[in-house]
Amino acid sequence: MKFKQWTFAKRAEQAFTYLRSQGVPLLVAAVLCSRGLDTLEQATTFLSWHPKLLCNPMQMKDMDKAASRIRLALERNEKIAVYGDYDVDGITSTCLLTHYLRSQGGTVCYYIPCRLEEGYGVNREAIDALHQEGVSLIITVDCGITALEEVDYAKGLGIDMVITDHHECKEDLPQAVAVLNPHRRDCEYPFKDLAGVGVALKLVLALAGEEHTRTVLEEYSDLAAVGTVADVMRLLGENRTLVCIGLDQLKNTHRIGLRTLMEEAGTTSHTLNSTTVGYCLAPRINAAGRMGRAALAAELILTDDPSEAERLSQELCELNRERQNVELTIFNDCTEKLDQAGRHDSIVLAAEGWHQGVVGIVASRLSERYACPAFMITLQDGKGKGSCRSYGGFNLFQALEACTDLLEGYGGHALAAGFTILEEHIPAFRERMDTLVKEDTGGEELISTLLIDVEVRNIFNLNVEEVSQLSLLEPYGNGNPKPVFSLLGMTITCLSEVGGGRHLKMRLCRDGRTLDAIFFSTTRLQAGVQIGDEVDVAFFPQVNEFRGSRSVQLHLVDLRLSKEAEAEAQWYARFCQGHVIPKGEAGDIIPQREEFASLWRYLVSCGGVAEDTAERIAQQTARLSQLPPSVTRTKICLDVLEECGLVQLEHRNGRVRIRSRARGGEKMDLEQTNLMRRLRKMAGQ
């Protein structure tokens, strides 16, 4: 099991029946009801998206001031700089605003700081460089909300600044010409979860005017979708509408760079959705910033040259492969240390030589693996740059606020943040973070929990038509995760490792229906299952197309031995170790006479020699006895026969080899064996 606990969502059956009667597809209705959207109005509102549902950009505090100053700069032909960030949100924001201002005749350059040398946010050296280039207006995107001193410094040089950001605000705001951020306490903009690129898009919509809304969305919603998905923003409300519109535009994007990158990544318009954006496009764009070359991605998005787009796409993909190798090395180094240390309330690790650009991803993987918040710190010359990721809803921004006396600086969101710290303060920081996590959890250990949206009781409901309808719920992401389904009591009939042994492919059967399943990044040993096992599976259902044929495949999220099979296995292990089995449980594992007889008939049919898993043997003998299969009772049958000298058993590699031993027709009283008498005594028989 990858998750220690499975939690099954409850749904209102009456509401489910009503939604079905109103034409909502079965699996879609089941997911909506499990998530509390159990009225037709709620379901319709959630499933609907349209440009008319977008909020008026002028509702955002300071939008009028920002638009006025930028229009003045365009009229005066001032040199404008768009100052961005090096992640996907920042890069798409930079490209969106730069492209629009240039299309309006503006003299515009862009600046993205180098992650490895300059770090996050606005810095004085960059302001000096832009001042020397004649810039008189700097517009930040996806950064700047904490740049109080930098804004004052720019003002002293005669440079105005407009801040557009979406990160959490501190008490004081920069004294800029305008500060656009829906998180401002005095901002009445109704939707607070815009990405940085969402705020940038709102600025462009305000500049263009309401009459040009459709044109702006057609031109820039693809960038807004990529940045919003990549920054793991909540895909509800306005974000859902922006991403839906943007994904439609992205499938036929006019941007040569994005189109070439999709081709290089193997992403076609047919398969394009929020998942492919998040796992295929975003990592490649992000790799540029993580490896200290963010401008490369911006050049790709803005280029009109096909040959240049091809070259840059190949470079980005190569950078992504390099990033993956560096990430894996750091991750393996960390897990080796953490596995030896035992339980963790929080993870705070620091080392020299770690690549600053990838430690955030490593922190994310560690938080998932060890079920706790993770803080990764890269050290150099006694100073540390940290990236952290949350777990279980722990608010990182508030936690970092509680450590301000130990930090040089910090910023970010509740779920992901960055900070700087002196090396000498790290031990105290580690101790305080453990305390904060314990206070947040009440001292209880955070348990990795998988929420199951829907338990599928009728396996035949998992058909191509119903599974295809689940696309109505997209785009998936933060706030609207891909729905997880479960099937209980499935029997593994086929099992093999694929992808060079990295993934597990299997065939599962129940109620006469067989389904193919794939378990990525899991080996046979890690899964701990074998052919014949009865398992519960949690999965994403998907439609697989192969040579014109469409079928349902299960993308496994987790699996476990079915409760009955797991309980039986525990009973048998305790029995073999000499423990006393409770009276009721002992009675359940006493083999019946028919089971001994069917097992012997099975052995005879195999010519006196058989080799298979105990699970498969249990299935074979159950067919002969017409009794429900029981692995535990089958194993006890074999042990009893071995005690009588009727068979010789050899166990190896999860299989048992059975060889019958002729006894010259001598009849044996199986009830008189030590094993059976012991079981009967425990059962009180």
What CATH number corresponds to the domain at position 383?
A: 3.10.310.30
For residues 303 and 323, the answer to whether their CB atoms sit within 8 Å is: no
Quote the CA–CA distance of 422 and 71 in Å, as a whole number: 43
Nearest CA to 166 out of 476, 477, 479, 411 is that of 411
What are the angstrom distances between the C-alpha of 263 and each of 140, 546, 641?
A: 31, 20, 63
Nearest Cα residue to 244 out of 413, 46, 32 = 46
Q: Which helix (H) or strand (E) holds 460?
A: none
Residue 304 lies inside a defined structural domain of this protein: no
163 and 60 fall within a common domain: yes
Do 213 and 106 sit in the same domain of this protein? yes
One DSSP character per residue, 201-253 reads HHHHHHHH-GGGHHHHHHHHHHHHHHHHHHTT---SHHHHHHHHHHHHHHHT-
- CATH number for 37: 2.40.50.460
Q: Please check whether residue 564 is in contact with residue 534, taking contact to mean a CB–CB distance below 8 angstroms.
A: yes
- 40 and 56 co-located in one domain: no
Q: Please tell me whether the peptide bond between 475 and the residue prior to it is cis, using omega within 30 degrees of 0.
A: yes
Number of separate domains in the chain = 4
How would you classify the pairing of strands 503-510 and 485-498?
antiparallel
Q: Within this chain, do residues 442 and 463 fall inside the same structural domain, yes or no?
A: no
Q: What is the pLDDT of residues 203-225, one digit of tens each?
A: 999 999 999 999 999 999 999 99
Indicate if 468 and 542 belong to the same structural domain. Answer: yes
Closest by alpha carbon to 265, among 247, 251, 284? 284
DSSP label at residue 671 = G
Q: CA-based angle 325:341:501, to the nearest 5?
A: 40
| Of 248, 272, 296, the domain-final residue | 248
Q: What's the domain range around 222?
A: 52-248
DSSP-based three-state secondary structure for 592: coil
Mark whether 443 and 473 lie in a shared domain: no
In a domain, 260, yes or no: no
What backbone torsions phi and psi does residue 648 show, to the nearest 5 degrees? Answer: -120, 125
Give the Cα separation of 183 and 62 in Å (integer): 13
**195, 228 Cβ separation under 8 angstroms:** yes
pLDDT tens for 439-465 read 988 877 777 788 999 999 899 999 999
Residue 340 falls within a domain, yes or no?
no
Q: Are residues 41 and 61 in the same domain?
A: no
* Same-domain status, 73 and 218: yes
Q: Is residue 665 included in any domain, yes or no? A: yes
List the chain residues with pLDDT less than 50: none
Residue that is last in its domain, among 233, 248, 263: 248
Q: Return the structure tokens found at 155.
A: 């003002």
pLDDT at res. 83: 97
- Taking the C-alpha atoms of residue 160 and residue 137, their distance in angstroms, rounded to an integer, is 5
Where helices occur in 77-156 by DSSP H, the ranges are 88-103, 124-132, 148-156
Phi then psi for residue 465, to 5 deg, are -65, -50
pLDDT of res. 580:
77
For position 666, what pLDDT does the model report? 64
Quickly tell me which residue has 């580690």 as its tokens: 430
Return the pLDDT at 293. Answer: 84
> What HEC string does 91-113 produce?
HHHHHHHHHHHHHCCCEEEEECC
CATH of the domain at 615: 1.10.10.10
Q: Within a domain: residue 438?
A: yes
Q: Which residues contact 440 (CB under 8 A, 6 or more apart)?
A: 394, 395
Report yes or no on 115 lying in a domain: yes
> Is residue 285 in a domain?
no
Same domain, 125 and 228: yes
Residue 75's domain is classified under what CATH number? 3.90.1640.30
Question: pTM of the full predicted structure?
Answer: 0.76
One-letter identity of residue 543: V
Q: CA–CA separation, 472 vs 28, rounded Å? A: 8
Identify whether the C-beta of residue 66 lies closer than 8 Å to the C-beta of residue 205: no
Residues 78 and 15 in one domain: no
pLDDT at 215: 96
Q: Is 519 helix (H, G, I), strand (E, B) or coil?
A: strand
Q: Is residue 17 part of a domain?
A: yes
Pairing of strands 485-498, 534-546: antiparallel
The bridge status of strand 178-180 relative to strand 347-352 is unpaired
Pair (34, 143) in one structural domain:
no
Closest C-alpha among 393, 350, 389, 347 to residue 370: 347
- Give the CA distances from residue 651 to residues 612, 648, 661, in Å, rounded to whole numbers and listed in that order: 10, 10, 17
- C-alpha to C-alpha distance for 175 and 157, rounded to whole angstroms: 14
Six-digit token string for 280: 């295929």
pLDDT value at residue 567: 67
- The whole-number pLDDT of residue 653 equals 61
* pLDDT (tens digit per residue) in 403-426: 999 999 888 778 888 899 999 999
Q: What is the reported pLDDT for 631?
A: 79
List the structure tokens of 574.
């305790």
SS3 of residue 541 by DSSP = strand
Q: Where are the beta strands (DSSP E) in 48-99?
A: 79-83
The last residue of a domain, from among 198, 213, 248: 248
Q: Are residues 149 and 119 in the same domain?
A: yes
**Contact in structure between 536 and 562 (CB atoms under 8 Å):** yes
Residue 316, SS3 per DSSP: helix
